[in-house]
């Protein structure tokens, strides 16, 4: 018996990095999973097989989370395909780093659109479902850089700080409906996103971590799954770091 038996989860950004680890971990604990990504192509097939190998049902949908019209369609399609929806994990995200004097309007807008508005669209799309059934778990993905800021990331830090405000406000709005809403704030995690950083920036990030190692996507997924279980039923409106102490 898994703790999440009978539950259906929607994971945005599920075709890479943290999103994939979250999808697999939720499935390992019994949930059926829909992975949603900007291009749910060949990568999605392997992930679906890995989820199904754990005895869970899995579907993949292509969607740009910044597309406000698509979000309610995706939620309806997942409900239709998997027979319900109980968990939302918003893992889709991008960065477009530049110092402010070099940042283009497009770099600012792309990160706000995907990381902040994308989170909002999916939270808004599941809210009526979760309110109606008086049950739901929402886990958003912020970043320690949304808490402390980072040189070269005014767009990303603003979006991730916005995710924290959204999470806390939504926790208040949905508490009456027995819906838990929390954010995870990862530090430096080894994923394709951070693999694209210059080597010296990666080394500098690892040097900040008291535990002396970069995090893995599975380190984040373990917390996301916990927040989706009844063991975490009294936790809402929280922002929990998974960073090996990088923030302190």
What the block records as the tokens of 5 is: 């038996």
Q: Which is nearer to ligand NAP, 6 or 104 (CB)?
A: 104
Interaction between residue 167 and ligand NAP (CB under 6 A): no
Q: Judged by CB under 6 A, which stretch of 44-52, 127-135, 166-174, 186-194 contacts ligand NAP?
A: 186-194
Provide, rounded to whole angstroms, the least separation between the CB of residue 113 and ligand NAP: 8
Q: Which of 194, 225, 236, 246 binds ligand NAP (CB under 6 A)?
A: 194
Long-range contacts of 189-194 (CB under 8 A, 24+ apart): 189/17, 189/18, 189/214, 189/215, 189/216, 189/217, 189/219, 189/220, 189/242, 190/214, 190/215, 190/216, 190/217, 191/16, 191/17, 191/18, 191/217, 192/16, 192/17, 193/16, 193/17, 193/93, 193/94, 193/95
CB neighbourhood size of 109 (10 A): 14
Q: Which of 23, 94, 126, 227 binds ligand NAP (CB under 6 A)?
A: 94
Binding string, residues 98-117; x marks residues near ligand NAP by CB under 6 A = ----------------xx--
Q: Which of 92, 161, 183, 227 binds ligand NAP (CB under 6 A)?
A: 92
Interaction between residue 141 and ligand NAP (CB under 6 A): yes
Q: Which of 66, 123, 209, 232 binds ligand NAP (CB under 6 A)?
A: 66
**Backbone conformation region of residue 226, classed left if phi is above 0, alpha if psi is from -120 to 50, else beta:** alpha
Chain positions contacting ligand NAP, by CB under 6 A: 12-13, 15-19, 37-39, 64-66, 91-94, 114-115, 118, 141, 143, 186, 188-189, 191-194
């Amino acid at each position: 018996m898994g703790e999440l038996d009978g539950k259906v989860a929607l994971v945005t950004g599920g075709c890479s990095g943290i999103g994939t680890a979250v999808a697999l971990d939720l499935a390992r604990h019994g949930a059926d999973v829909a992975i949603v990504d900007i291009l749910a192509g060949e990568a999605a097939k392997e992930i679906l097989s890995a989820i199904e190998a754990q005895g869970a049902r899995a579907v993949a949908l292509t969607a740009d989370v910044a597309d406000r019209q698509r979000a309610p369609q995706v939620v309806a399609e997942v409900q239709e395909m998997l027979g319900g929806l109980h968990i939302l994990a918003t893992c889709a995200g991008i960065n477009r780093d530049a110092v402010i004097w070099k940042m283009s309007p497009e770099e600012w807008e792309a990160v706000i659109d995907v990381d902040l508005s994308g989170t909002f669209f999916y939270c808004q799309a599941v809210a009526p479902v979760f309110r109606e059934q008086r049950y739901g778990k929402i886990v958003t993905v912020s970043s320690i850089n949304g808490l402390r800021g980072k040189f070269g990331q005014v767009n990303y830090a603003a979006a991730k700080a916005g995710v924290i405000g959204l999470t806390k406000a939504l926790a208040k709005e949905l508490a009456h409906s027995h819906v838990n809403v929390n954010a995870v704030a990862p530090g430096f995690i080894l994923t394709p996103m951070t693999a694209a950083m210059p080597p010296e920036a990666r080394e500098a990030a690892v040097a900040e971590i008291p535990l002396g190692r970069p995090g893995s996507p599975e380190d984040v997924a373990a917390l996301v799954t916990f927040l989706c279980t009844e063991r975490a039923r009294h936790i809402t409106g929280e922002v929990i770091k998974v960073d090996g102490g990088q923030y302190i």
